[in-house]
Amino acid sequence: MAIQAWRIKDRYYRLIGSRCQECRTEFFPPVYTCRHCGSEIIKDQEMPKEGKIMTYTRLHEPLPGFEAQAPFYLAVVMLDNGARVLTQVVDSPDESVKTGARVRATVRRAKVDGDSGQIIYGYKFIVMAIYNL
Amino acid sequence: MPKSKVYITSVGFTKIDDHWEKSLLDLAVEAARGAMKGTPKVRPQQIFVGNMFSAVGAGQEHLGALLASALGLVGVPALKVESASSSGGSAFNVAYSLVKSGALDSALVVGVEKMRDLETEEVSQAVAMAESAEYTQFVGASFAALNGLLARYYMEQLDVSRDELSSIPVIDHANAVNAEHAQFRRAITPDAVSRSSMVADPLRLFDCAPIGDGAAAVLLVSDRAASGAKKKMAEVLGGRIATNEFSVYQREDMLDFNATREAFKGAMAQAGLSTRRLGFAEVHDAFSVVGALSLEAMGFSKRGRGSKDAKEGKYNMGSEFPINTFGGLKARGNPIGATGVYQIAEAFLQLTGQAGKNQVEDADYGITHNVGGVDTTSVVHVFGRAT
């Protein structure tokens, strides 16, 4: 798990996704083949860090490694370039997490691998209105 | 090789339950023997095992040879087929395609999953393997969470109410009361669904199929082999697997179950049937919202109407087109890799008049619909009475 996360750390820390070099559509997570035009000419592209919530859920029964965080919000966020990110929404009061809310990416502790394993960091989003952003 | 007609001559299955006393292999052997004893003259030429996570659930892989050996069928080719919770339907599709092509005269398909040796959280982790390890599991999104996201989107975009969403679980539970192999044999009310504990808001416990152990098996034969079998048979008229964009949240329209639609269209075209000829459907409702969107994708309900039609009684037993006649995933149960084979065994019981109190009268044709991921892989088969 630790190596799997290390290999794609730029994607987790900086939201490095993909940009199709032919039709210019951008994606996160990265793609091998453009979902829009089918091109295989794809380059890494840093994503914009803001977007809005398309839909969300509050998860009460977490996966192993996420117990300490539960219950927590997950959302599908449409970034301002049209790419969609599945992400946690954190540090935002319940009433602020709603469809259409503007959110911004931050880096947070993502997963703790047991008592003595590695701590993996990654993107989570916050509701911008709460922070007057 | 000549194309053959394909028949199911017999089926076997365990009750879906917490089988503390039985191992993965115990369950698979019990179901397989049930199917084989029903057609003693036919020795399967190949075995296909549908299973998703035996490596995690039982520390066991190489299920094909393991089962062949246990059944005294050493030498028979035997493979595991995996496509998440559609593993059972996919295993059947591979077997069906080979018998239809003439490459095989008989095949045994066994779906099996051992879930209860794991803690509930570990089951969530195992099921989450159907989605991206790097971008879905990584953010802590369980399979229920993905369906929760989808359910909210469905309710908000298409104006579906909590009680409407509850209607498919209610149908499932009503139909399971008389189904001896079902995991939960009691009726529930819409209120019970909306009062059950929250899993992934807005989805509650009774929106979600349960955890359980089980195995189901069916024996497939070509028309050449069938002539010696002389039994009540069901004919397999068509079958198709289709895939969708891998992650539901990346799809242009999250509410369009494109894989289900394509699999259904393909299978029905092979069968040469129009929808109105169908007498029942076994629909993969791992979550209430998935059942609703699947009914819409196959055209039984209009967009946004799946749950509403269910609430109005369109899919009840006794209606013109009942679904999930033995309880569906919610009440019969959902032992992941076995589920698709249970559905097929149930279609066989319906079309051979062996469904007991759950018998759908005058049904000449029916379908099974099995899904891996959130409509990521969908498998549809069409069955008819053997003539």
Give the C-alpha separation, B324 to B319, whole Å.
Answer: 12
Comparing CA positions, the residue from B245, B265, B163 lying closest to residue B207 is: B163
Fold of B123-210+237-385: Peroxisomal Thiolase; Chain A, domain 1 (3.40.47)
Give the C-alpha separation, B11 to A123, whole Å.
Answer: 49
Closest-CA residue of B relative to A70 is B140
Comparing CA positions, the residue from B113, B117, B139, B112 lying closest to residue B128 is: B139
Q: Render each residue's pLDDT in chain A as its tens digit; 133 residues.
A: 678 889 999 999 999 999 999 999 999 999 999 999 999 999 999 999 999 999 999 999 999 989 889 999 999 999 999 999 999 999 999 999 999 999 999 999 998 877 788 889 999 999 999 988 8
Burial status of residue B21 (CB atoms within 10 A of its CB: 0-12, 13-18, 19 or more): exposed
Give the C-alpha separation, B117 to B8, whole Å.
Answer: 32
pLDDT of residue B91: 98
Whole-number Cα distances in Å, B304 to B356, B369, B370: 34, 19, 21
* Strand pairing class (B78-81; B280-282): unpaired
Which residues does chain B have with pLDDT short of 70?
A: 1-2, 230
Compute the radius of gyration of chain A from its Cα atoms: 16
Comparing CA positions, the residue from B11, B77, B58, B9 lying closest to residue B335 is: B58
CB-CB neighbors (< 8 A) of B134 in chain A: 4, 8, 11, 29
pLDDT of residue B218: 98
For B80-136, what is each residue's pLDDT tens digit?
999 999 999 999 999 999 999 999 999 999 999 999 999 999 999 999 999 999 999
Is the CB of B159 inside 8 Å of chain A's CB atoms? no
Nearest Cβ partner of A88 from B140, B156, B249? B140
pLDDT of residue A113: 75
CB-CB neighbors (< 8 A) of B120 in chain A: 61
Q: B261 Cβ partners below 8 Å, 6+ apart? A: B297, B298, B299
SS3 state at B167: helix
Fold of B6-118+212-234: Peroxisomal Thiolase; Chain A, domain 1 (3.40.47)
Give the C-alpha separation, B122 to A80, whole Å.
Answer: 36
pLDDT of residue A52: 98
Q: B1 is written with which tokens?
A: 């090789």
User: What is the ipTM metric for this complex?
Assistant: 0.96
Residue A32 carries which DSSP code?
A: S
Comparing CA positions, the residue from B141, B148, B130 lying closest to residue B254 is: B148
Nearest Cβ partner of A66 from B120, B140, B201? B140
Give the C-alpha separation, B91 to B215, whole Å.
Answer: 13
CB-based contact B369:B282 (threshold 8 Å): yes
CB-based contact B348:B232 (threshold 8 Å): no
Residue B15 carries which DSSP code?
A: P
Give the C-alpha separation, B290 to B305, whole Å.
Answer: 13
Can you give the pTM of this predicted structure? 0.97
SS3 state at B121: helix
Is the CB of B302 inside 8 Å of chain A's CB atoms? no
**A29: distance to nearest CA of chain B, Å?**
7
Give the C-alpha separation, B360 to B321, whole Å.
Answer: 9
Give the C-alpha separation, A36 to A27, whole Å.
Answer: 10
Give the C-alpha separation, B154 to A76, whole Å.
Answer: 13
CB-based contact B49:B112 (threshold 8 Å): yes
CB-CB neighbors (< 8 A) of B199 in chain A: 59-61
Mutate to test the interface with A, among B249, B289, B293 (most CBs of A within 10 A): B249
Helices (H) and strands (E) in chain A, counts: 2, 8
CB-based contact B30:B240 (threshold 8 Å): no
The number of beta carbons lying within 10 Å of the beta carbon of residue B299 is 12
Helices marked H in chain B — which ranges? Answer: 24-37, 54-57, 63-70, 87-101, 120-128, 143-158, 162-165, 167-176, 190-195, 223-229, 258-271, 288-297, 306-311, 336-351
pLDDT of residue A115: 79
pLDDT of residue B2: 65
Nearest Cβ partner of A86 from B139, B198, B199? B139
Omega before B169 cis (within 30°)? no
Give the C-alpha separation, B111 to B346, whole Å.
Answer: 13
CA B196 to centroid of chain Cα atoms: 24
- In order, the DSSP letters of B182-235 are -S--S---HHHHHHSPEEETTEEGGGB----BEEEEEEEEEHHHHHHH-S--EE
Is the CB of B135 inside 8 Å of chain A's CB atoms? yes
- The ranges assigned to domains in chain B are 6-118+212-234, 123-210+237-385
Whole-number Cα distances in Å, B173 to B278, B316, B340: 22, 11, 19
Give the C-alpha separation, B387 to B384, whole Å.
Answer: 9
